[in-house]
Amino acid sequence: MLGRVNHIAIAVPDLAQATATYRDMLGARVSQPQALAEHGVTVVFVELENTKVELLEPLGADSPITAFLEKSPSGGMHHICYEVDDILAARDQLKASGLRVLGDGNPKIGAHGKPVLFLHPKDLNGTLVELEEV
């Protein structure tokens, strides 16, 4: 069911500073910031040969990243995203096996313009997992 790793997301307290670090110090290619109001985040993608790193900053007071940064003020790994061919089939199979899908269980459109779902970290060894349909 799982395809390749699409990206690893890192929550950051200062997106501009984190972007500059990846671009200027590490020499990485980075995208322009993209506000995703439905998800409560602003994101920048660090483009690598084999995958991407997504830098996440809270967008608004209700952002889920705010609570994460309260626990880890300097930031840290937030989630890992795997690609799937059919997100609805993956959701149904995972739910049938006992995994919990966050939210209302229906996909939302993610930063790449494709359907995404998140799986409960308590079901996956403490790791928040995002699935993205490719």
What are the tens digits of pLDDT across the range 15-58?
Answer: 999 999 999 999 999 999 999 999 999 999 999 999 999 999 99
CA 63/CA 1 separation, integer angstroms: 30
Active-site residue set: 130
Give residue 95's Cα distance to chain centre.
20
What is the signed CA dihedral for 73, 46, 101, 14, rounded to 10 degrees?
A: 20
The pTM score is: 0.94
List all residues 6 or more positions away from 49 whose beta carbon is below 8 Å from its beta carbon.
none
* Domains of the chain and any CATH numbers: 5-133 (3.10.180.10)
Tokens of 132: 């993205």
